Amino acid sequence: MKKLICLSALGMLLTACGGGGGSAPSNPVVNDPGLSFSPESLNVVVNEGQNKSAVIRASANKVFSGTVNVAIVDSKGVTTGAVNMSSVSSSAYDVTLQVSGKLPAGVYDGTLEVRLCQDTPSVCSQPHPGSPWKLPYHIEVKALSSISKVSVDQLVYRKISKITVTGENLGFAVVKMPLCLNLTEVGNGTSTQRNFSCKIVGVGNPELTVLSDKGGKLYSMPTVVSLARPPQVTMKTSLGDMVIELNPAKAPVTVDNFLSYTENGFYTNKIFHRVINNFVIQGGGYDADLKQAATLAPIKLETNDLSNLRGTIAMARASAADSATSQFFINVADNLTLDSCIQSFCMPQQGYAVFGKLVSGLDVMDKIRQVPTKQVLPMEDVPVNPVIIYSVTQTQ
pLDDT at 122 over 80: no
27: confidence class by pLDDT, cuts 50, 70, 90: low
- Residue range 221-228: average pLDDT? 92
- Residue range 120-127: average pLDDT? 82
CA dist 375 to 269, 281, 366, 379, 384, Å?
Answer: 21, 15, 21, 6, 9
Distance CA 29, CA 362 (A): 68
Q: If you average pLDDT over each of 85-99, 133-147, 352-366, which comes out highest?
A: 352-366
pLDDT reported for residue 9: 37
Which range, of 18-32, 90-104, 263-277, 361-375, averages the lowest pLDDT? 18-32
Contact call for residues 231 and 259 (beta carbons, < 8 A): yes
Partners of 196 in beta bridges: 163, 185
Distance CA 109, CA 111 (A): 7
pLDDT reported for residue 335: 96
List domains and CATH numbers for the chain: 3-142 (2.60.40.10), 146-222 (2.60.40), 232-394 (2.40.100.10)
CA atoms within 13 A on the CB side of 378: 0
The gap from C-alpha 239 to its chain's centroid, in whole angstroms, comes to: 44
Q: Read off the amino acid at residue 75.
A: S
352: confidence class by pLDDT, cuts 50, 70, 90: very high
Which range, of 68-72, 185-189, 269-273, averages the lowest pLDDT? 68-72
Structure-model confidence comparison of residues 119 and 311, the more confident one = 311
Q: Residue 304: CB partners within 8 Å, gap ≥ 6? A: 250, 251, 340, 353, 354
Q: Give kind and range of the element (H or E) at residue 382.
A: strand 379-383
Distance CA 88, CA 122 (A): 26
What 3-state DSSP class applies to 80? strand
Q: What is the torsion angle, in degrees rounded to the nearest 10, for the CA atoms of residue 9, residue 15, residue 18 and residue 21?
A: -150
What 3-state DSSP class applies to 140? strand
Distance CA 239, CA 276 (A): 16
- Residue range 329-356: average pLDDT? 87
The gap from C-alpha 272 to its chain's centroid, in whole angstroms, comes to: 37
State the sign of the Cα–Cα–Cα–Cα dihedral 280, 285, 286, 292: negative
In tens, the pLDDT along 140-189 reads 887 778 899 999 999 999 999 999 999 988 888 899 999 999 999 999 88
